[in-house]
Copies of this chain bind each other. A is one copy, B any other.
Amino acid sequence: MYLHPPDPDLAERLRSVSRRWGGDFEVLGIEDWRGLIRTFDGTVVHLTMYGMPLDRVAARIRSSARVLLVIGGAKVPFEIYERADYNVAVGAQPHSEVAAVALALDRLVGPVAPRRFSGGSVRIRPSARGKRVEERGSRV
Contact = CB atoms under 8 A, between A and B. Distances in A.
A89 B106 contact: no
A130 B55 CA distance: 19
Contacts of A99: 98-99, 101-102
Ranked nearest first, the 5 interchain pairs of A and B with the lowest CB-CB distance are A99-B102, A92-B114, A92-B124, A50-B131, A98-B98
A5 to B, nearest CB: 20
Contacts of A96: 98, 102
A129 B81 contact: yes
A134 to B, nearest CB: 11
A117 B102 contact: no
Contact of A126 (B23, B89, B98, B101): B89
Interface of A: 17, 21-23, 49-55, 78, 81-82, 84, 86-87, 89-94, 96, 98-103, 106, 111-117, 123-124, 126-133
Contact of A115 (B21, B92, B103): B92
A53 B113 contact: yes
A130 B127 CA distance: 46
Contact of A112 (B51, B90, B130): B90
A119 B88 CA distance: 24
A9 B49 CA distance: 24
